Structure formats: C-alpha cells, structure tokens
C-alpha cells in the first residue's frame, strides 16, 4: 500500500500509468468504435494528408484509413507484446524456480544452458528463430518470448535460491509436503512480485522487439498490420508522404515511453535506498543554514569551535547530531574527544572542514575559526585550499578510506599536487620520504602497492602519511586506531605523539577509549548526545571524573593488572538525537538523576580549567571507592 502511495506521488510514473491505461482502454474498445475497416483498400484516395475529410489521420499507400489501422495495429502490438512477456515470464520463472529449488546438478545444467543463450547478441537469436520458423506474427512472438526466457530464468533462480533455504520451506519439507506442493504453495507466492516487476520493466522491450521484427517484414504479414509493419510499409513513401511513417512511429514511442515511466516508478517505489535518501550525492562542502548565527572569534588557539550545531535533515525528521559544541586546540597540543558511537564526535570533527555528507547534513549554527578565519560559510574554493594543507584528517578504517584502485604512492602524491605542482620524480621521492616518516619498512617498494596489498596497520600508516604530506598545522584524527590490534595501536599512538613534539602539530583525537586518551591527550572533552558534558585536563579527569557519564564510561575500560574490578556496562542506549529529552540527555540512564535534571537547560559550568554539565556531580570520595 505504501508503495502504491509512493507511486502516486511520483508524477512522471503516474503520467505513464494514465497514458498506458488510456492506450489499453482504447485498444480494448477498438472493435466497438465507429472506425472504417482497417484493411479495405481505396486506391482513389491514396495518401490523403492528415485532417482530410473522412480521414483524420489521412490514408496510406493503398488508401486505407490510417486512424483505423493505427487503432487495430496498436491493439495487435499490445497483445503480442504482453503475450510475449507473459510467455517469457511463465517459462522463464518455471525454469528459474526448478533450477533454484532443486539446486545441485539440475541447477548447474540448466544455468549453463541459460548462459549459452545469453552469450548470443539478443536480436540475433530472435532472427535465427524466425529464420527457422519462417516469417509470421506468431513466430515473431515465439522468437521474442524465447530470447527473453534466460533473463527471467536467471532473475527468478536467484530469488528462489534465497527462499529455498528459509526456515518455512524446511518446515514444509519436514512435514512431508511434496516438492510440487512446496513450490506451488511456499515458493511461488514469494516469487510472483519479482516476476511482475521484471515483466513491467521488460514488456516495453518486447513491444519494441516485435515491432522491430514486423518492421523488417518478419512479423505480421499483409494485409493485417501491427505498428511495426505499418512503419515498415510506410518506409517506401517516407520522403513523399512522411505522415504515414510518423503516425505509427509516434504511437510506438508513446507506448514504450509510458511503460518505461511506469516501470521506473515501480522500481523506485520499491527501492528502500531511494526512500531513505541513501543515494543522494554528497555536495563538495557541507551546506550551511542561512539562519546560522556566527560566533565571535577567540585569540591564542589555532582552531576554535564555538557553539557549533550540525543537524541531519531526513525527510521531516531533524537529527541534532551536534548541539552547540565549543572547543579549542593550541599548537603542539592534543585534544581528545571521547564518547560512545552516535555521540556526535565524528560529525563534530567532519564539520570543521565541511566534510559532513550534505544532503542530509547541514550546519545550522556556530562558527569554526582557523587562525581567526571563520570556516563555516567560507566559500568552497577557500575551504578546498585549506583542506589537507592546513587542516588534515586521518580516518578510521583505511580499507574503505583509501581509493582501492590507485597505488598508495599515487594517492600520497595527489595529496601534495592538490595544492602545489610537483614533478613526477620529486613526487615519488616525497612519497617515499613520507612512508619512511611513518616507519613503513621498505618504503621505496611499498609506494607501488595497492591498498589491498597492505595490512591494516600499514594502511593506517599510509593514512597518517597522507595527512602529513603538506605539513599541516592541525590534524584531526577520527578513531585512527580502532580497527587495529593493540600492539599496532600503541605504535601508531607513539608515532603521532612524536610527530606532535617534532612538528608542533595541534591534534584533535577522537576515540571511545579512555586508555588511548590517557596515553596521548593533554586535554579531553567528553561528548554525549551531541553535547560536551565534561571537559578538562586529561590527568584531572582520569583521576576524578565529575560527570556520572564520564565515570561510567571509565568504568567500562578494563585495566591491566587492575584486579577484580567489576566491568560496568552502562545500562540503556544513547538517546536518538531526533527526539532528545528536555534537560540532561543522560538522565534516563543515570542513577543520580532527579526531577530537576529532566527539566530545563543545564549549562556547561566552567570552574578553573574544567567544565561540567551536571546538577549532581560525582564527588571525590565516591570516585575513589
């Protein structure tokens, strides 16, 4: 039902449906219409132009009424096309179900045969069949149906294989049902929708192909004409009397186009990815809402986020992924952002350089200042020159973040050539230097590797090397060690730490792991449901967490040699950011929460170098126990 509603909302598909309905209706009605007989020749009235007396569309080379022939021809073309589709679907589906249901050898033999048929160029096979059977409309129908059988057989087989191993089929088999009954009562009802969709997308082709065979003189034989043979007969008079060609040609075009529109509409309505917007292309830079309120800039820090707000607008829902985050990082400093998945930490990081996929992402408020310049709302061209050159990213999972089809060396070189020209030799030298810098052994050979030829740790180092390529001022590392095992993780962390000391880099390090934060970060910000709940020097927070969430998060980390401390999972789940409760977002999962926590805005209170968003903070003594 919902699919039908979607189809109705797709105006083009609806148009196709209406046109198609009209054509079919008229074709069905043709025998009852007051039309001249289509096959009676009247040579004294040959080639009457359209809008003549008594012949609205004119007459053809034998003086036959074109309107009447068009209607009867349409009727015939539609009938043949639908019949061919029905035959191909029935036989193809039967073959596909048998192959998919029985599997094994039966499947193998049948599908090899289907593959052979598909090795033929499509129309060629139809020609061969017509050649054997002889010209004629029924033979053309058989030929077109036959060449489409492999298509149906293959599709339906795929679906059947999926169904044949489902529990309900096993249950039917165990209850002693015969194979034939299982196929008819369990498999077929599940396959029929697929057959219908496949038919709706191919019936247009079949009408075209039968018209084509008739056009070549291999289909319907005179005096009876379908649209194709009308066109074929009119071809001789194309130059002198083009209307006799244009009339049937346009009719074929209208019919096939209506069917295609309808088929596209059905396909789109059934594609879940279109509904969710998962096939939207992300723009080069995240959109910025015109209503955004920029914030004033701060001194001394190199990168400052002020009340940054990023949302995802999907259909009529609004997900507040980042709900007013303020952060800053100084040269040579490492700031950690920690939180569960879905807390908005990655979106915060991606918002800095406008890399949040948009649509559906949109920055609705706040500012990001880099060396005094507001990056939110900066034109794309400016943003591009800063990306990678001033602020570079290291992403999680380098399997997916490196281009699979380019050599890592070329991807490194590109990071540089995106900002300044570089000769081939120089680029290669630079790439090897970079791989050396991240301690990849045998760098001069490794530059020629493709990403899939490297291990996960190696790929992550390539990701880091790429971030270092232009000697940036700030590196934003989004869970760069999550996908790695512990020893490799430790190596990567010490590598980052060295780079920070040597080059005076500012690092924003995103993670969900307090152990990692303790090793690397000077300061840490804890995020929950798109907001910072606690912030301060790493030591201080590790020693004495004040927000209950921070405390619970730290209790989740197992400590080596820490004895029998109980590992506490936090009960419940993070809230959905499209439906945030008023007050503290953590309140539903917090055992200290009171009624006041659930009403009104709770501010982020700054005390010294620490900040806290909580009405009932954890005290020193509690934290120790």
Partner 1 sequence: MTRYILRRLLSAIPVLFGISVIVFAIMALIPGDPALAILGSFATPENVARLNADLGLDKPLIQQYFIWLGNMLQGDFGRSFNLNRPVLDEVLDRFNATLVLAGTSFVLCAFLGIVAGVVSAANQYGWADKGITFVVLLGISIPSFFLGMMMILTFAVNLRWLPASGMWPIYGERDLWALLRHLTLPALALSVVATGVIARLARSAMLEVLRQDFIRTARAKGVHERGVIWRHALRAAMVSIIPILGIQAGFVLSGAVYIEVVFQWPGIGRMLVDAILRRDILLVQGGVIFVAACYVLFNIVVDVAQSLLDPRIKT
Contact with partner 1 (CB under 8 A): which of 93, 95, 130, 338?
A: 130
User: Nearest-5° angle of CA 151, CA 207, CA 259?
Assistant: 85
124 binds partner 1 (CB under 8 A): yes
Nearer to partner 1, 172 or 378 (CB): 378
Closest distance of CB 622 from partner 1, Å? 42
Contact with partner 1 (CB under 8 A): which of 13, 55, 76, 252?
A: 252
Nearer to partner 1, 135 or 581 (CB): 135
Nearer to partner 1, 32 or 279 (CB): 279
Closest distance of CB 518 from partner 1, Å? 27
45 binds partner 1 (CB under 8 A): no
In SS3 terms, 352-385 reads as: HCCCCCCCCEEEEEEEEEECCEECCCCCHHHHHH
User: Nearest-5° angle of CA 199, CA 201, CA 206?
Assistant: 75
Nearer to partner 1, 155 or 538 (CB): 155
Nearer to partner 1, 4 or 278 (CB): 278
Nearer to partner 1, 85 or 590 (CB): 85
Closest distance of CB 74 from partner 1, Å? 14
Closest distance of CB 248 from partner 1, Å? 8
Binding to partner 1, residues 273-312 (CB under 8 A):
278-282, 284
Number of Cβ within a 10 Å radius of residue 622: 14
Owner of token pair 């506490």: 568
Contact with partner 1 (CB under 8 A): which of 18, 40, 115, 600?
A: 115
Binding to partner 1, residues 57-96 (CB under 8 A):
none
Cα–Cα distance between 512 and 557 in angstroms, integer?
Answer: 10
Nearer to partner 1, 279 or 299 (CB): 279
**Which pairs count as long-range contacts for 178-187, CB under 8 Å and 24+ apart, including other chains?**
179/101, 179/102, 182/101, 183/97, 183/101, 187/97, 187/101, 187/160, 187/163
Cα–Cα distance between 619 and 287 in angstroms, integer?
Answer: 42
Residues 6+ apart with CB under 8 A from 482: 396, 397, 511, 512, 513
Phi/psi of residue 123, nearest 5 degrees: -70, -30
Owner of token pair 């800063």: 386
* Helices 456-468 and 486-503, axial angle in degrees (round to 10): 10
Residue 496's Cα: distance from chain center in Å?
Answer: 34
Residues 6+ apart with CB under 8 A from 497: 334, 519, 520
> Distances from the Cα of 507 to the Cαs of 47, 301, 623, in angstroms?
82, 12, 29
253 binds partner 1 (CB under 8 A): yes
Site residue total, partner 1 (CB under 8 A): 81
Stretch that binds partner 1, among 148-156, 231-239, 307-315, 369-377 (CB under 8 A): 231-239
Nearer to partner 1, 164 or 391 (CB): 391
Cα–Cα distance between 13 and 218 in angstroms, integer?
Answer: 33
Phi/psi of residue 85, nearest 5 degrees: -65, -40
Contact with partner 1 (CB under 8 A): which of 22, 29, 33, 238?
A: 238
Phi/psi of residue 284, nearest 5 degrees: -60, -30
Q: Select from 496, 504, 437, 427 the least CA-distant residue to 465.
A: 437
Contact at 8 Å (CB) between 289 and 365?
Answer: yes
Binding to partner 1, residues 254-273 (CB under 8 A):
256-257, 260-261, 264
What does the per-residue mask of binding to partner 1 show for 359-398, with x meaning CB under 8 A? ---------------------x---xxxxxx--xx-x-x-
Cα–Cα distance between 54 and 44 in angstroms, integer?
Answer: 14
Number of Cβ within a 10 Å radius of residue 223: 14
Stretch that binds partner 1, among 80-88, 152-160, 248-256, 535-543 (CB under 8 A): 248-256
Binding to partner 1, residues 133-172 (CB under 8 A):
133-135
Nearer to partner 1, 393 or 528 (CB): 393
Q: Select from 356, 348, 366 the least CA-distant residue to 306.
A: 366
What does the per-residue mask of binding to partner 1 show for 495-524, with x meaning CB under 8 A? ------------------------------
C-alpha torsion sign, points 89, 91, 92, 95: positive
Closest distance of CB 119 from partner 1, Å? 5
Closest distance of CB 604 from partner 1, Å? 29
Closest distance of CB 478 from partner 1, Å? 10
Closest distance of CB 588 from partner 1, Å? 33
Closest distance of CB 326 from partner 1, Å? 23
Stretch that binds partner 1, among 230-238, 364-372, 500-508, 579-587 (CB under 8 A): 230-238
Contact with partner 1 (CB under 8 A): which of 171, 400, 445, 576?
A: 400
Nearer to partner 1, 379 or 561 (CB): 379
Stretch that binds partner 1, among 252-260, 364-372, 533-541, 606-614 (CB under 8 A): 252-260
| Parallel, antiparallel or unpaired: strands 474-478 and 506-511 | parallel
Residues 6+ apart with CB under 8 A from 250: none
The helix/strand/coil state of 253 is: helix
Cα–Cα distance between 145 and 482 in angstroms, integer?
Answer: 55
Stretch that binds partner 1, among 94-102, 114-122, 336-344, 502-510 (CB under 8 A): 114-122
Binding to partner 1, residues 338-357 (CB under 8 A):
350, 353, 355, 357
Closest distance of CB 396 from partner 1, Å? 9
Nearer to partner 1, 203 or 544 (CB): 203
Binding to partner 1, residues 457-496 (CB under 8 A):
466, 469
What does the per-residue mask of binding to partner 1 show for 182-221, with x meaning CB under 8 A? ----------------------x---x--xx--xxxx---
Nearer to partner 1, 271 or 609 (CB): 271
Binding to partner 1, residues 403-462 (CB under 8 A):
403-406, 414-415, 418-419, 450, 452
């Amino acid at each position: 039902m919902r699919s039908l509603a979607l189809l109705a909302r797709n105006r083009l598909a609806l148009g196709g449906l209406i046109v198609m309905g009209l054509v079919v209706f008229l074709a069905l009605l043709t025998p009852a219409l007051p039309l001249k007989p289509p096959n009676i020749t009247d040579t004294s009235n040959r080639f009457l132009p359209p809008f003549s007396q008594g012949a609205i569309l004119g007459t053809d080379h034998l003086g036959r009424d074109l309107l009447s022939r068009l209607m009867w021809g349409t009727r015939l073309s539609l009938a043949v096309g639908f019949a061919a589709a029905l035959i191909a679907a029935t036989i193809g589906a039967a073959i596909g179900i048998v192959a998919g249901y029985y599997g094994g050898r039966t499947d193998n033999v049948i599908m090899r045969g289907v593959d052979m048929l598909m090795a033929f160029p499509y129309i060629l096979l139809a020609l061969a069949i017509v050649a054997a059977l002889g010209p004629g409309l029924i033979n053309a129908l058989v030929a077109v149906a036959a060449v489409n059988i492999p298509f149906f057989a293959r599709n339906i087989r795929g679906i059947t294989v999926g169904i044949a191993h489902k529990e309900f089929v096993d249950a039917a088999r165990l209850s002693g049902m015969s194979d034939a009954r299982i196929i008819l009562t369990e498999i077929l009802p599940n396959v029929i929708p697929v057959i219908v969709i496949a038919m709706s997308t191919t019936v247009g082709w079949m009408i075209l192909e039968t018209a084509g065979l008739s056009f070549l003189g291999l289909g319907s034989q005179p005096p009876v004409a379908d649209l194709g043979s009308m066109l074929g007969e009119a071809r001789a008079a194309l130059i002198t009397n083009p209307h006799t060609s244009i009339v049937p040609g346009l009719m074929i075009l209208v019919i096939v186009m209506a069917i295609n529109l309808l088929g596209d509409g059905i396909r789109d309505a059934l594609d879940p990815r279109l509904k969710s917007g998962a096939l939207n292309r992300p723009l080069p830079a995240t959109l910025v809402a015109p209503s955004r309120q920029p914030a004033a800039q701060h001194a001394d820090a190199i990168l400052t986020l002020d009340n940054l707000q990023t949302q995802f607008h999907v259909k009529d829902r609004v997900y507040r992924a980042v709900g007013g985050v303020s952060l800053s990082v100084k040269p040579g400093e490492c700031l950690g952002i920690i939180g569960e998945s879905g807390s908005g930490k990655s979106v915060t990081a991606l918002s800095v350089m406008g890399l949040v996929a948009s649509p559906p992402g949109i920055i609705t408020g706040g500012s990001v200042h880099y060396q005094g310049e507001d990056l939110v709302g900066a034109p794309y061209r400016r943003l591009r020159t800063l990306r990678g050159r001033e602020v570079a990213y290291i992403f999680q999972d380098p399997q997916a973040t490196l281009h699979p089809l380019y050599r890592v060396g070329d991807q490194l070189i590109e990071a540089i050539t995106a900002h300044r020209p570089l000769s081939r030799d120089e680029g290669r030298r630079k790439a090897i230097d970079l791989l050396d810098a991240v301690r990849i052994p045998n760098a001069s050979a490794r530059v020629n590797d493709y990403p899939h030829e490297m291990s996960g740790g190696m790929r992550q180092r390539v990701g880091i090397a790429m971030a270092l390529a232009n000697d940036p001022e700030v590196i934003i590392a989004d869970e760069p060690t999550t996908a790695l095992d512990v020893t490799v993780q430790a190596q990567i962390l010490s590598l980052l730490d060295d780079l920070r000391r040597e080059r005076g880099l500012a690092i924003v390090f995103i993670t969900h792991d307090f152990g990692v934060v303790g090793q690397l970060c000077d300061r840490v910000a804890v995020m929950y449901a798109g907001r910072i709940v606690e912030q301060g020097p790493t030591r201080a927070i590790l020693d004495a967490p004040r927000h209950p969430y921070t405390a619970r998060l730290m209790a989740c980390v197992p400590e080596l040699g820490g004895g029998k401390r109980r590992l506490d999972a936090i009960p419940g789940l993070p809230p959905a950011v499209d439906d945030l409760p008023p007050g503290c977002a953590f309140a539903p999962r917090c055992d200290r929460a009171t009624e006041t926590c659930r009403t009104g805005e709770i501010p982020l209170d700054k005390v010294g170098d620490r900040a806290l968003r909580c009405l009932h903070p954890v005290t020193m003594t509690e934290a120790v126990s």
